[in-house]
Amino acid sequence: PIVGSSNNGIDTTLVLKDSRFTLDITNDTIPMEVFIRPNANNVHSGISDQIFLLICPGEQMNITGNFEQYQVTGSDFQQAYQAAHNLWEPMRNQLTAMTEQIIALQQEGLPFDSLRLAQYPIYQKMREMQKQYIVDHPDTDVSLYILSQLNMEAIEELLPTFTEKVSKGTFAPLYK
């Protein structure tokens, strides 16, 4: 398997050794999204053949299982992030499957507009779930991170609802 990341436009690829890897990120860095692919030779493996993680500075985590079903353990943040992520994972899987179909149709030169249109309500439902999670958990760094992935309208609406614990906490750079 290979591990890769894209943070601020800088791509990093690491090859696992004995099923382990180390990725050092500086303490002033916001969380880094990381993916793990099963095969270094298949850079264009299916989207569903990847494990996506969120790594925080100074954090250690363990991943067990396989590419179809895996468990991530680590810090309190990681546990909370994984629990939140699991809430909308079924919708994310639907979107991923549809995206893979769109890619296949594009490669065959066939129309794919109807699939793109079908993705929108699923995407919207997932975003609404994420916004509701933020409303229900205004005192967590996980909510702040989730908000950072939403559009400006959601940010303007929900940023003022966060508690001081979050605005001055670990992810304060995201708060600004």
Question: pLDDT of 11-37, one tens digit each?
Answer: 556 666 676 666 665 555 667 777 776
Q: Give pLDDT, residue 168.
A: 83
Give the burial string for 18-42 (b: 16+ CB within 10 Å, else e).
eeeeeeebeeeebbbebebbeeeee
Using alpha carbons only, give the angle 57, 29, 141 rounded to the nearest 5 degrees: 70
Question: Span 119-136, mean pLDDT?
Answer: 94
Find all residues with CB under 8 Å of 98, minimum gap 6, and list them.
115, 118, 119, 122
pTM of the entire structure? 0.73
What tokens were used for 27?
A: 């303490």
Among candidates 53, 54, 55, which has minimal Cα distance to 26? 55
Q: Give pLDDT, residue 135.
A: 96
Question: Span 58-74, mean pLDDT?
Answer: 75
pLDDT tier, 6 (very low <50, low <70, confident <90, very high otherwise)? low
C-beta separation of 30 from 8 below 8 A: no
C-beta separation of 66 from 52 below 8 A: no
- Bridge partner list, 76: none
pLDDT tier, 110 (very low <50, low <70, confident <90, very high otherwise)? confident
d(CA 137, CA 120): 26
Q: Give pLDDT, residue 174.
A: 67
Q: Give pLDDT, residue 20.
A: 65
Model confidence pLDDT, tens digit, residues 140-172: 989 998 998 899 999 999 999 999 888 887 777
Mean pLDDT, all residues of the chain: 77
Q: Give pLDDT, residue 1.
A: 41
